[in-house]
RNA sequence: GGUCUCGUGGCCGAGCGGCUAGGCACUGGUCUGCAAAACCAGCUACAGCGGUUCGAAUCCGCUCGAGACCUCCA
């Protein structure tokens, strides 16, 4: 049983005990989105995964500085040298100012992150806000002889770097194979080797996002911003760097190389990679045209969906899988998650009203120990949830008088569950489908009529009301204490 | 083609050398005018074939199958 936090480090491919560089402070950097379109569900999974990490670190008492960037420049469309900047292209196509694109999708991103109840990062820097710093680091790398200028652009010299350092240490790539596999450069290329990547790109006359630099008008390379902003806000060395699995190569590999080329240090102590959300076994991505937008999922307005799901149901669904495993998305899986989530929340909502006894059959401290052990084991949220359902089972047993709980244990359980479910897992009660007094008033009248019909054994009226409401997706639930309703 | 990961009951998904994870579905029960809801109980799976071991879903080998990265992606 793990009594201290262990993290799977994708650099060493081992689970390692977490020891912050500067306890109790923890530096956490996560690669944020490129804001050229709406965030899709797969993106959200990564950020929810690292939200769990952030929340648990705070639960453990660490003083976390969470930095997550917004990529608003420099991210090229295709090959890291050929294509157009994604934001620039969108701006050109839609005839908008690039910063309009950035603003629109940054707002969308923030809205969705709020829907999913993720904690905002402490610092959210943008690439365009750090052009000066990016130019500075390029100068340093040039001075260190690990980059070269070519026709107004600056490229990182991977081959030179690989003479003293291990390019490929994170992704497990063999540098020689990398060179031999991509040898055939056409004569036009500005780069010395195909593996070299851009630190600064010369802007063509049509390129709208452009800045002045010692090498002429241009824009920064994509990989640079993360090196620069993590160093600026977390220092040359910091604790955890996270991102999606698909950023491992080349993005994170390049980041490592840039940092080492600039200051000789491997910045990151623990590399963490969140795995992909798949649909029918395939990675959800825009290019495969199988991605789903959060709003489509919330409303159910998508050809692949039978109905809409509350953001908390989606979050719960994601937390039922380990962050480092792929998670397959389907209607069935979501419906299962919805039922499970409701069961968990129902259990939580009756804790405070539980009858108490002198003695107690359950011990909150035992649950706490198991649940913390699960989280300590590389943030094993599925295991945590499994333990929580054990707790729910006990809560229900107490409610039905088959088990006992003491007053002090009840208090402890109530506090603990809120900590784990709300603060660490970041769940909250799902929004009532209809949370307004007008609707409640109407429904009370209707259910009151039905209750009176039932009292008179007028089953025809009673069932007609129930059936008609069901046709409107309103489910009537009868219990000993009267009828309640829910929009399905 | 290269690098790597994974194949768990009807579905999703933990576990990763010995103690039947969990959720959903399903079946039975309690409750109920009936149904639904809720609750309780049942449901003993680890791709195939070899090997290591007292013992393997878990380690090793092979076979089959799937996926990711190598080009933009979280």
- Structural domain tally of chain A? 3
| A249: CB within 7 A of chain B nucleic strand | yes
d(CA A478, CA A225): 58
> What is residue A1's predicted lDDT score, i.e. its pLDDT?
59
A3 found inside a domain: no
Distance of alpha carbon A59 from alpha carbon A66, whole angstroms: 14
Q: How far is the CA of A231 from the C1' of B9 (A)?
A: 49
- Give the residue from A59, A114, A122 showing the smallest Cα distance to A428: A114
Question: Does any domain span residue A431?
Answer: no
Residue A180's pLDDT is 63
Sort strands A277-279 and A327-329 into parallel, antiparallel or unpaired.
parallel
CA–C1' A345–B42 (A)? 25
d(CA A226, CA A134): 10
Q: Same domain, yes or no, for A111 and A193?
A: yes
Please tell me whether any atom of strand B lies within 7 Å of the Cβ of A474: no
Residues A232, A307: Cα–Cα separation, whole Å: 45
CA distance A144 to A433: 60
Same domain flag for A17 and A55: yes
Residues 171-200 on chain A lying near strand B, CB distance under 7 A: 171-174, 177-178, 181-182
Which residues of A spanning 6-25 put their CB closer than 7 angstroms to strand B?
13
The verdict on A100 and A234 lying in the same domain is yes
Q: What pLDDT score was predicted for residue A93?
A: 80
Closest CA to the C1' of B36: that residue is: A477
CB under 8 Å to A325, separation ≥6 — which residues?
A: A275
Q: Does A283 share its domain with A265?
A: no
Specify if A103 maps to a domain: yes
Q: Would you say the C-beta of A243 is within 7 Å of strand B?
A: yes
Q: Is the CB of A68 under 7 A from strand B?
A: no
Residue A288 included in any domain:
yes
Domain boundary among A259, A274, A289: A274
The Cα–Cα gap between A334 and A324 comes to 19
Residue A355's CATH number? 1.10.730
Residues A282 and A270 in one domain: no
Which of A274, A294, A325 is a domain's end point?
A: A274
> Phi, psi (5° rounding) for residue A164?
-115, -20
Considering the domain boundaries, does residue A121 fall inside one?
yes
Residues A125 and A171 in one domain: yes
For residues A30 and A144, membership in a common domain is answered with yes
Is the C-beta of residue A383 closer than 7 Å to nucleic acid chain B? yes
Going from the first residue of chain A to its last (488 residues), give the mean pLDDT of each consecutive group of 10, the final group possibly shorter.
Answer: 87 93 97 93 96 98 97 66 72 86 95 97 96 96 96 93 91 75 54 90 86 94 95 97 94 95 95 93 84 92 86 96 94 92 92 91 93 96 96 92 92 96 93 68 90 90 90 82 78
Q: For residue A112, count CB atoms less than 10 angstroms from its CB and return exposed for 0-12, middle for 13-18, buried for 19 or more.
A: buried
Look-up of token digits 């499994």: A386
Exposure of A201 by Cβ count < 10 A (0-12 exposed, 13-18 middle, 19+ buried)?
buried
* Confidence (pLDDT) at A286: 78
The DSSP secondary-structure symbol of A5 reads -
Q: How many Cα atoms are found within 13 Å in the side-chain-facing hemisphere of A407? A: 1
Considering the domain architecture, whether residues A297 and A201 belong to the same structural domain is answered as no
pLDDT of residue A67: 98
Establish whether the CB of A321 is closer than 7 Å to any nucleic acid atom in strand B: yes
Distance, in Å, from the CA atom of A269 to the CA atom of A31, rounded to the nearest integer, reads: 16
Determine the pLDDT at residue A219: 93
Assess whether A461 (CB) lies less than 7 A from strand B. no
Clarify whether residues A404 and A334 are in a common domain.
yes
Q: How far is the CA of A383 from the C1' of B15 (A)?
A: 9
In this structure, how many other beta carbons lie within 10 angstroms of the beta carbon of residue A63?
12
Per-residue confidence (pLDDT) for residue A74, from 0 to 100: 67
ipTM score assigned to the predicted complex: 0.94
Q: Which residues pair with A244 in a beta bridge?
A: A274
Q: What is the CA radius of gyration of chain A?
A: 27
Place of tokens 């419906």: A335
The domain boundary, picked from A256, A274, A292, lies at A274
- Residue A378: which of A421, A315, A325, A316 has the closest Cα? A325
CATH at A78: 3.40.50.620
Q: Is residue A412 part of a domain?
A: yes
Give the separation between CA A193 and CA A89, rounded to whole angstroms: 27
A291 CA: nearest nucleotide by C1' = B73
Q: What local confidence, expressed as pLDDT, does residue A237 receive?
A: 96
Residues A234 and A292 in one domain: no
Is the domain of A53 the same as that of A160? yes
Structural domain including A107 reads 9-274
What's the token pair of residue A1?
A: 């049983």
pLDDT of A272: 96
> What is the pLDDT, as a whole number, of residue A173?
82
Burial A243-263 (b: 16+ CB within 10 A, else e): bbeebbebbbbbbbbbbbbbb
On whether residue A235 sits in a domain, the answer given is: yes
- Chain B: nucleotides under 7 Å from a protein CB? 1-5, 10-15, 21-25, 31-41, 66-74
Question: Residue A305 falls within a domain, yes or no?
Answer: yes
A395 CA – B14 C1', rounded, Å: 23
The answer to whether residues A197 and A108 belong to one domain is yes
Q: Which nucleotide is nearest to A450 (CA to C1')?
A: B33
Pairwise CA distance, residues A401 & A399, whole Å: 6
Integer distance in angstroms from CA A308 to C1' B10? 24
């Amino acid at each position: 049983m793990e009594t201290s936090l262990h993290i799977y480090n994708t650099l060493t491919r081992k689970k390692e005990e977490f020891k912050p560089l500067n306890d109790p402070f923890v530096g956490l950097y996560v690669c944020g989105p490129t804001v050229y379109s709406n965030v899709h569900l797969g993106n959200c999974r990564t950020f929810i995964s690292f939200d769990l990490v952030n929340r648990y670190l705070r639960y453990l008492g660490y003083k976390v500085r969470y930095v997550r960037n917004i990529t608003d420049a420099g991210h090229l469309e295709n090959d890291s040298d050929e294509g157009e900047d994604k934001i620039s292209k969108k701006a050109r196509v839609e005839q908008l100012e690039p910063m309009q694109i950035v603003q629109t999708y940054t707002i969308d991103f923030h809205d969705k992150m709020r829907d999913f109840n993720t904690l905002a990062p402490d610092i959210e820097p943008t690439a365009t806000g750090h052009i000066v710093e990016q130019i500075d680091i390029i100068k340093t790398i040039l001075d260190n002889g690990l980059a070269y200028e070519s026709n107004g652009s600056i490229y990182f010299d991977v081959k030179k770097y690989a003479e003293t350092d291990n390019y490929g240490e994170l992704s497990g790539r063999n540098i020689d194979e990398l060179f031999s596999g991509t040898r055939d450069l056409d004569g036009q290329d500005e780069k010395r080797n195909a593996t070299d990547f851009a630190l600064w790109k010369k802007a063509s006359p049509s390129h709208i996002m452009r800045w002045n630099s010692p090498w002429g008008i241009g824009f920064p390379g994509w990989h640079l911003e993360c090196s620069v902003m993590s160093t600026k806000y977390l220092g040359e060395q910091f604790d955890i760097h996270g991102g999606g699995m698909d950023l491992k190569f080349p993005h994170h590999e390049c980041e490592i190389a840039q940092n080492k080329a600039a200051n000789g240090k491997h910045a990151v102590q623990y590399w963490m990679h969140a795995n992909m959300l798949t649909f029918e076994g395939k990675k959800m991505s825009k290019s495969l045209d199988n991605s789903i937008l959060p709003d489509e999922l919330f409303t159910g307005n998508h050809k692949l969906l039978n109905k809409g799901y509350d953001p908390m149901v989606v979050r719960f669904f994601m937390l039922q899988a380990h962050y480092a495993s792929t998670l397959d998305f389907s209607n069935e899986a979501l419906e299962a998650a919805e039922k499970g989530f409701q069961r968990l929340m129902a259990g939580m909502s009756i804790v405070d009203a539980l009858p108490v006894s002198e003695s107690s059959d359950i011990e909150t401290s035992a649950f706490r120990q198991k649940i913390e052990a699960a989280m300590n084991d590389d943030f094993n949220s599925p295991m945590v949830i499994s333990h929580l359902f054990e707790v729910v089972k006990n809560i229900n047993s107490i409610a039905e008088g088959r088990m006992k709980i003491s007053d002090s244990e009840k208090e402890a359980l109530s506090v603990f569950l809120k900590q784990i479910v709300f603060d660490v897992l970041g769940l909250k009660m799902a929004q009532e489908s209809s949370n307004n007094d007008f609707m409640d008033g109407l429904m009370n009248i209707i259910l009151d009529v039905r209750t009176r019909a039932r009292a008179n054994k007028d089953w025809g009226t009673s069932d007609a009301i129930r059936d008609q409401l069901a046709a409107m997706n309103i489910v009537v639930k009868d219990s000993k204490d009267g009828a309640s309703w829910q929009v399905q």
